[in-house]
Chain A
Amino acid sequence: MTSAAAVSIRNVSKTFGKGGTKALQNIELDFQPGEFVSLIGPSGCGKSTLLRVIGDLVEPTEGEALIGGKPAHQARLDRDYGMVFQEATLMDWRTIEKNVSLPLELMGWAREKRRDRVRELLELVELTGFEGHYPWQLSGGMQQRVAIARALTFNPSLILMDEPFGALDEMTRDRLNLELLRIWEATSATVVFVTHSIFEAVFLSSRVVVMSARPGRVQKVVEIDLPYPRTTETREDVHFFELATEVRELLRESHSGRDAAPEGT
């Protein structure tokens, strides 16, 4: 356990309600700074719960999560991370610009500084010119880009993403995967990415954490030794398929007996 680890998960378990569902069991994980880690597993394996434990939105029944050596609770209060959810969760009554500047308002930034930063970020996610639009005027993919911009406003060293592209069509998803990698390289943050999609996990990450069915345990961590920067060619690489197959077979093992097969089968 080094204080250099971006995220340390120490023996985290979570049970909901007294004697209720056990979502997570004895999770031990370390993520290094600048890594891109995916969490993948069958439905109900607790990956979203684990992400929320890291983000101090859910309290673990046992164990703790540390972010840059700090307890998760403190990290949340210090705003050390940005989070992107599956639904863009944009505020309908705010323009795109005001949506992105929301965290900055909370941190008390001056208006000029806010405007400049928002402009910078909208450029990063390639949405320049949409400042005055409202969320419902944008497509799903664009809304998610706004959500990503919002998560990056205060330059966090850690980004938590909970199936952000889950509700989008495949073409948009592929495009946004490339964009996400580009943004990641520009910001050099650590990313913890929850997904259902094997291809997406392998394409984006440096490591894939495969979780077992409920109660969620770490089944195996797969090293993705594909080179960065990754491109559309990477998707056609033989090694890419080998890694995807490895992940798929791990998932099939963890499923054993369950009906639903994950995406990409």
Chain B
Amino acid sequence: MRRVGYTGASDCGTEYVVTVNVLKRVGIFLLVLAATCAFYMGYRQLFLSTGWTWPFKVDQYAMPRLQDIVSRLWEPAATEQPPLAQLLVQRALFTAREAAVGFAIGALVGIAIGVVFHFSNLMRRGFQPYVVGSQTVPILAIAPMVVIWLGGQGLPVWMPVAVISAFLTFFPVAINTLRGLDSTDPRKLELMRSYAASEWSTLWRVKFPCSLPYLFSAFKVAATASVVGAIIGELPSSIQDGLGGAILNFAQYYSLDPSALWATNIIAALLGILFFCIVAVTEHFVVRRAPENVA
């Protein structure tokens, strides 16, 4: 019996194609990296030599040299301290923990809200405006209050920050869980009805798998949100051990040591991208779908 399917070309042909693809991707990455650096240095050079002050004045403090920023990572964080890179990685790990816990809490809460809203129209009409409105509450303002509320309960000192991180995380997850569950193929639901399947069975076996693409798209947004939430949460909480503390610290000394803050930004960016990539890779293995057909 002939097999119908997307079986590939001959073996050596496939290998060749894969290698070329990888080279292409690496090439584009290097190109983008080079272009960004060139843009930065070019902009800097141009504004330095012409002395233009719009949109902002460029000097060695506004835009340190790229080499200085990179080399700063290897210099000591402060006098007689380990290199900045080491310090920043430690801080990043601290923030990462808060963000990861916040992501987990936010994802669970978000999914729970999505499921409840899916099954109960009344709950949805009652609470959805507040769920949406909750995101307009400036978390920076309630962060100190969360710290006070949760402090002294025997919880680790960074737990309030994780809660704040969860606050930014739960919303996209809730919205997309609801959308995913609501948009299940009605024919599949009819099939399950013909099997007299229980609501729970249908939820677990059909609705959830169908909404995985929506869930993961929310998780990707939530990954970034959890890191942002963790950083913002640290700012007013006088927590020194995370990236938020590092940003505050180096912002204070910016006029003396601008490269340090730029270097911190780079590490923070890498952290955000790392979280995102973890979710993206997980998605690749978990969500199995037919290839899409778009122009």
Contact = CB atoms under 8 A, between A and B. Distances in A.
B196 A87 contact: no
A168 to B, nearest CB: 13
A2 interface: no
B195 A93 contact: no
A89 B67 CA distance: 59
For B187, B194, B205, B290, which residue has the most chain A Cβ atoms within 10 angstroms? B194
Interface stretch (A24-32, A38-46, A137-145, A204-212): A137-145
A85 B187 contact: yes
Nearest to A128: B1
A93 B288 contact: yes
Interface in B232-278: none
B191 to A, nearest CB: 5
Nearest to A52: B190
Contacts of B197: 106
Contacts, number: 60
A91 B206 contact: yes
Interface in B1-39: 1, 4-6
Interface in A66-86: 76-79, 81-83, 85
Main secondary structure of the interface of B (DSSP, over half): loop
Contact of A142 (B4, B187, B201): B4
A129 to B, nearest CB: 7
B188 A55 contact: no
Contacts of A129: 1
A76 B6 contact: no
Interface string B191-230: 1011111000100011001001000000000000000000
8 contacts: A79-B196, A82-B194, A91-B206, A91-B209, A93-B209, A93-B289, A106-B201, A136-B291
The 8 closest A-B pairs by CB, nearest first: A136-B290, A137-B5, A83-B194, A77-B196, A139-B4, A93-B209, A89-B187, A89-B191
Interface of A: 55, 57, 76-79, 81-83, 85, 87, 89, 91-93, 102-103, 105-106, 126, 129, 133-139, 142
